[in-house]
Structure 1
Protein backbone atom coordinates (compact mmCIF):
# COMPACT_ATOMS: atom_id res chain seq x y z
CA UNK A 1 0.00 0.00 0.00
CA UNK A 2 1.34 3.45 -0.88
CA UNK A 3 0.48 6.83 0.49
CA UNK A 4 0.08 10.03 -1.53
CA UNK A 5 3.65 10.95 -0.57
CA UNK A 6 4.97 7.67 -1.95
CA UNK A 7 3.42 8.06 -5.40
CA UNK A 8 5.50 9.23 -8.32
CA UNK A 9 4.56 12.72 -9.48
CA UNK A 10 5.80 14.88 -12.32
CA UNK A 11 5.50 18.57 -13.10
CA UNK A 12 6.74 21.13 -15.59
CA UNK A 13 7.14 24.86 -15.03
CA UNK A 14 7.81 27.14 -18.00
CA UNK A 15 8.32 30.88 -17.88
CA UNK A 16 9.52 33.54 -20.30
CA UNK A 17 10.82 36.91 -19.20
CA UNK A 18 12.09 39.91 -21.12
CA UNK A 19 15.29 41.39 -19.75
CA UNK A 20 16.31 44.92 -20.74
CA UNK A 21 20.00 44.02 -20.94
CA UNK A 22 22.36 42.48 -23.51
CA UNK A 23 22.53 38.69 -23.59
CA UNK A 24 26.05 38.53 -22.09
CA UNK A 25 24.96 40.56 -19.06
CA UNK A 26 21.77 38.49 -18.71
CA UNK A 27 23.77 35.24 -18.78
CA UNK A 28 26.16 36.57 -16.13
CA UNK A 29 23.12 37.48 -14.00
CA UNK A 30 21.87 33.88 -14.26
CA UNK A 31 25.23 32.61 -12.99
CA UNK A 32 25.29 35.24 -10.23
CA UNK A 33 21.81 34.24 -9.08
CA UNK A 34 22.74 30.56 -9.06
CA UNK A 35 25.90 31.37 -7.11
CA UNK A 36 26.90 33.63 -4.26
CA UNK A 37 24.21 36.27 -4.93
CA UNK A 38 21.29 33.82 -4.48
CA UNK A 39 18.88 34.97 -1.78
CA UNK A 40 15.75 33.75 -0.10
CA UNK A 41 12.68 35.98 -0.54
CA UNK A 42 13.49 37.62 2.82
CA UNK A 43 16.94 38.66 1.53
CA UNK A 44 18.92 36.07 3.49
CA UNK A 45 21.78 34.45 1.54
CA UNK A 46 21.21 30.92 0.28
CA UNK A 47 25.00 30.34 0.35
CA UNK A 48 24.90 28.81 -3.14
CA UNK A 49 27.88 28.03 -5.36
CA UNK A 50 28.02 27.06 -9.01
CA UNK A 51 30.93 25.67 -10.96
CA UNK A 52 30.13 26.92 -14.49
CA UNK A 53 31.52 24.09 -16.61
CA UNK A 54 30.17 20.69 -17.78
CA UNK A 55 29.85 18.44 -14.74
CA UNK A 56 30.30 21.38 -12.36
CA UNK A 57 28.40 21.27 -9.10
CA UNK A 58 25.57 23.54 -8.03
CA UNK A 59 25.34 23.34 -4.28
CA UNK A 60 24.48 25.05 -1.03
CA UNK A 61 27.63 25.55 1.07
CA UNK A 62 26.76 25.67 4.77
CA UNK A 63 30.42 25.69 5.87
CA UNK A 64 32.35 23.11 7.90
CA UNK A 65 31.99 20.58 5.04
CA UNK A 66 28.18 20.67 5.34
CA UNK A 67 25.70 21.50 2.61
CA UNK A 68 23.32 20.23 -0.07
CA UNK A 69 24.08 19.16 -3.65
CA UNK A 70 21.34 20.66 -5.84
CA UNK A 71 22.67 19.46 -9.19
CA UNK A 72 25.35 19.28 -11.85
CA UNK A 73 25.82 21.41 -14.94
CA UNK A 74 24.67 19.21 -17.80
CA UNK A 75 25.08 21.77 -20.62
CA UNK A 76 26.66 25.21 -20.68
CA UNK A 77 27.02 27.30 -23.84
CA UNK A 78 27.61 30.90 -22.76
CA UNK A 79 25.75 33.14 -23.29
CA UNK A 80 22.78 31.18 -24.67
CA UNK A 81 22.20 28.02 -22.64
CA UNK A 82 22.58 26.54 -19.18
CA UNK A 83 21.07 23.23 -18.09
CA UNK A 84 21.34 21.68 -14.64
CA UNK A 85 20.15 18.26 -13.54
CA UNK A 86 19.95 16.86 -10.02
CA UNK A 87 17.89 16.61 -6.86
CA UNK A 88 17.55 20.42 -6.47
CA UNK A 89 16.24 21.17 -2.94
CA UNK A 90 14.59 17.74 -2.67
CA UNK A 91 16.10 15.33 -0.13
CA UNK A 92 14.19 12.32 -1.40
CA UNK A 93 13.99 10.28 -4.63
CA UNK A 94 13.42 12.87 -7.35
CA UNK A 95 15.04 13.95 -10.60
CA UNK A 96 15.00 17.57 -11.78
CA UNK A 97 16.14 19.34 -14.92
CA UNK A 98 16.26 23.14 -15.22
CA UNK A 99 17.06 25.00 -18.40
CA UNK A 100 17.88 28.67 -18.94
CA UNK A 101 17.75 29.45 -22.69
CA UNK A 102 18.68 33.02 -23.63
CA UNK A 103 18.12 34.72 -26.97
CA UNK A 104 19.19 38.22 -27.98
CA UNK A 105 16.09 40.29 -28.66
CA UNK A 106 17.02 43.74 -30.01
CA UNK A 107 18.92 45.48 -27.20
CA UNK A 108 17.50 43.04 -24.67
CA UNK A 109 17.27 39.34 -23.97
CA UNK A 110 14.45 36.82 -23.92
CA UNK A 111 15.02 34.27 -21.15
CA UNK A 112 13.02 31.05 -21.48
CA UNK A 113 13.12 28.98 -18.31
CA UNK A 114 11.88 25.46 -17.74
CA UNK A 115 11.92 23.14 -14.75
CA UNK A 116 10.87 19.53 -15.17
CA UNK A 117 10.74 17.11 -12.25
CA UNK A 118 9.58 13.62 -11.41
CA UNK A 119 9.77 11.45 -8.34
CA UNK A 120 8.30 11.17 -4.88
CA UNK A 121 7.71 14.92 -4.83
CA UNK A 122 6.12 16.38 -1.72
CA UNK A 123 3.05 18.58 -2.25
CA UNK A 124 4.73 21.59 -0.63
CA UNK A 125 7.51 21.42 -3.23
CA UNK A 126 5.08 21.03 -6.15
CA UNK A 127 2.92 23.87 -4.86
CA UNK A 128 5.77 26.22 -3.90
CA UNK A 129 8.01 25.87 -6.95
CA UNK A 130 6.16 28.23 -9.33
CA UNK A 131 6.34 31.16 -6.88
CA UNK A 132 9.92 30.30 -5.91
CA UNK A 133 11.08 30.32 -9.53
CA UNK A 134 9.16 33.55 -10.21
CA UNK A 135 11.11 35.22 -7.40
CA UNK A 136 14.39 33.71 -8.70
CA UNK A 137 13.75 34.95 -12.27
CA UNK A 138 12.72 38.41 -11.01
CA UNK A 139 16.09 38.61 -9.22
CA UNK A 140 17.91 37.67 -12.44
CA UNK A 141 16.04 40.39 -14.37
CA UNK A 142 16.71 43.04 -11.72
CA UNK A 143 20.39 42.11 -11.46
CA UNK A 144 20.93 42.18 -15.26
CA UNK A 145 19.03 45.42 -15.79
CA UNK A 146 20.92 47.12 -12.94
CA UNK A 147 24.29 46.00 -14.39
CA UNK A 148 23.22 47.18 -17.85
CA UNK A 149 22.52 50.77 -16.73
Structure 2
Protein backbone atom coordinates (compact mmCIF):
# COMPACT_ATOMS: atom_id res chain seq x y z
CA UNK A 1 0.00 0.00 0.00
CA UNK A 2 2.91 2.37 0.67
CA UNK A 3 4.03 2.04 -2.95
CA UNK A 4 0.65 3.38 -4.09
CA UNK A 5 1.24 6.56 -2.08
CA UNK A 6 -1.30 5.56 0.54
CA UNK A 7 -0.98 7.61 3.72
CA UNK A 8 -3.55 6.29 6.24
CA UNK A 9 -5.12 9.19 8.09
CA UNK A 10 -7.35 7.65 10.72
CA UNK A 11 -7.80 10.75 12.88
CA UNK A 12 -9.27 12.78 10.00
CA UNK A 13 -11.33 10.77 7.54
CA UNK A 14 -12.01 13.69 5.19
CA UNK A 15 -8.30 14.54 4.91
CA UNK A 16 -7.55 10.86 4.36
CA UNK A 17 -10.07 10.62 1.53
CA UNK A 18 -8.67 13.79 -0.03
CA UNK A 19 -5.07 12.48 0.16
CA UNK A 20 -5.65 8.82 -0.68
CA UNK A 21 -8.93 8.84 -2.54
CA UNK A 22 -12.15 7.42 -1.15
CA UNK A 23 -11.44 3.78 -2.11
CA UNK A 24 -8.05 3.58 -0.37
CA UNK A 25 -9.37 5.45 2.66
CA UNK A 26 -12.26 3.00 2.87
CA UNK A 27 -9.85 0.06 2.64
CA UNK A 28 -7.68 1.59 5.36
CA UNK A 29 -10.65 1.43 7.71
CA UNK A 30 -11.59 -2.21 7.10
CA UNK A 31 -9.22 -3.72 9.65
CA UNK A 32 -9.66 -1.47 12.66
CA UNK A 33 -7.77 -3.11 15.50
CA UNK A 34 -8.54 -1.75 18.98
CA UNK A 35 -5.15 -2.63 20.45
CA UNK A 36 -2.49 -5.29 20.23
CA UNK A 37 -3.24 -8.35 22.33
CA UNK A 38 -0.51 -8.89 24.95
CA UNK A 39 1.25 -12.23 24.62
CA UNK A 40 0.20 -13.31 28.13
CA UNK A 41 -3.45 -12.25 27.76
CA UNK A 42 -6.05 -14.74 28.97
CA UNK A 43 -9.31 -14.83 30.91
CA UNK A 44 -7.38 -16.38 33.83
CA UNK A 45 -4.81 -13.55 33.82
CA UNK A 46 -7.57 -10.91 33.72
CA UNK A 47 -9.30 -12.60 36.69
CA UNK A 48 -6.00 -12.52 38.64
CA UNK A 49 -5.58 -8.81 37.94
CA UNK A 50 -9.19 -8.15 38.95
CA UNK A 51 -8.70 -10.00 42.23
CA UNK A 52 -5.51 -8.06 42.97
CA UNK A 53 -7.34 -4.76 42.59
CA UNK A 54 -10.35 -5.93 44.59
CA UNK A 55 -8.00 -6.85 47.46
CA UNK A 56 -6.23 -3.51 47.21
CA UNK A 57 -9.53 -1.60 47.17
CA UNK A 58 -10.67 -3.41 50.31
CA UNK A 59 -7.42 -2.42 52.05
CA UNK A 60 -7.84 1.22 51.03
CA UNK A 61 -11.50 1.24 52.05
CA UNK A 62 -10.63 0.21 55.63
CA UNK A 63 -9.14 3.65 56.30
CA UNK A 64 -11.25 5.68 53.87
CA UNK A 65 -13.16 8.46 55.58
CA UNK A 66 -15.78 8.95 52.88
CA UNK A 67 -17.79 6.54 50.79
CA UNK A 68 -18.41 6.83 47.07
CA UNK A 69 -22.11 7.32 47.76
CA UNK A 70 -21.24 10.55 49.62
CA UNK A 71 -19.30 12.00 46.69
CA UNK A 72 -20.32 14.20 43.82
CA UNK A 73 -17.88 14.30 40.93
CA UNK A 74 -18.19 17.06 38.38
CA UNK A 75 -16.09 17.04 35.24
CA UNK A 76 -15.98 20.43 33.59
CA UNK A 77 -14.65 19.29 30.23
CA UNK A 78 -13.77 22.34 28.22
CA UNK A 79 -10.81 21.61 26.01
CA UNK A 80 -10.08 25.29 25.67
CA UNK A 81 -10.24 26.22 29.38
CA UNK A 82 -6.93 26.58 31.15
CA UNK A 83 -5.48 28.47 34.08
CA UNK A 84 -3.78 31.41 32.37
CA UNK A 85 -1.58 31.99 35.42
CA UNK A 86 0.10 28.65 34.69
CA UNK A 87 1.28 29.70 31.22
CA UNK A 88 5.02 30.48 31.33
CA UNK A 89 5.97 34.02 30.34
CA UNK A 90 2.51 35.52 30.88
CA UNK A 91 1.91 38.23 33.45
CA UNK A 92 -1.61 39.44 34.11
CA UNK A 93 -2.82 42.55 35.94
CA UNK A 94 -5.60 40.56 37.67
CA UNK A 95 -6.62 36.94 38.13
CA UNK A 96 -8.96 36.17 35.20
CA UNK A 97 -10.40 33.08 36.90
CA UNK A 98 -10.77 34.39 40.44
CA UNK A 99 -14.28 32.91 40.79
CA UNK A 100 -13.11 29.47 39.65
CA UNK A 101 -10.16 29.65 42.05
CA UNK A 102 -12.55 30.56 44.92
CA UNK A 103 -14.71 27.53 44.13
CA UNK A 104 -11.62 25.31 44.06
CA UNK A 105 -10.71 26.43 47.59
CA UNK A 106 -14.11 25.31 48.89
CA UNK A 107 -13.88 21.72 47.66
CA UNK A 108 -11.57 19.04 46.36
CA UNK A 109 -10.04 20.28 43.14
CA UNK A 110 -6.90 19.94 41.10
CA UNK A 111 -5.27 19.91 37.72
CA UNK A 112 -5.54 17.39 34.92
CA UNK A 113 -3.20 16.78 32.03
CA UNK A 114 -5.12 16.84 28.79
CA UNK A 115 -3.93 15.05 25.69
CA UNK A 116 -6.15 17.27 23.57
CA UNK A 117 -6.59 21.00 23.28
CA UNK A 118 -9.01 23.01 21.21
CA UNK A 119 -11.06 20.09 19.95
CA UNK A 120 -11.71 16.40 20.44
CA UNK A 121 -14.07 16.83 23.38
CA UNK A 122 -15.72 13.46 22.78
CA UNK A 123 -12.37 11.68 23.05
CA UNK A 124 -11.48 13.61 26.20
CA UNK A 125 -14.87 12.66 27.61
CA UNK A 126 -14.29 9.00 26.74
CA UNK A 127 -10.92 9.01 28.52
CA UNK A 128 -12.30 10.84 31.58
CA UNK A 129 -15.32 8.55 31.97
CA UNK A 130 -13.59 5.23 31.28
CA UNK A 131 -10.09 5.91 32.58
CA UNK A 132 -8.74 4.46 29.33
CA UNK A 133 -6.12 6.57 27.56
CA UNK A 134 -6.45 6.58 23.77
CA UNK A 135 -2.66 6.26 23.54
CA UNK A 136 -3.15 2.59 24.45
CA UNK A 137 -5.32 2.02 21.40
CA UNK A 138 -4.17 1.38 17.86
CA UNK A 139 -3.85 4.44 15.60
CA UNK A 140 -6.63 2.89 13.51
CA UNK A 141 -9.04 3.67 16.36
CA UNK A 142 -9.03 7.46 16.84
CA UNK A 143 -12.71 7.79 17.80
CA UNK A 144 -13.81 5.13 20.31
CA UNK A 145 -17.42 6.36 20.62
CA UNK A 146 -18.08 5.56 16.96
CA UNK A 147 -15.62 2.72 16.35
CA UNK A 148 -15.45 0.83 19.65
CA UNK A 149 -18.43 1.54 21.88
CA UNK A 150 -21.13 0.37 19.42
CA UNK A 151 -19.38 -3.04 19.18
CA UNK A 152 -18.88 -3.53 22.93
CA UNK A 153 -21.02 -5.96 24.86
TM-score, reference length from structure 2: 0.19
Which structure has greater strand proportion? 1
Which structure has greater helix proportion? 2
The structure whose Rg is larger is 2
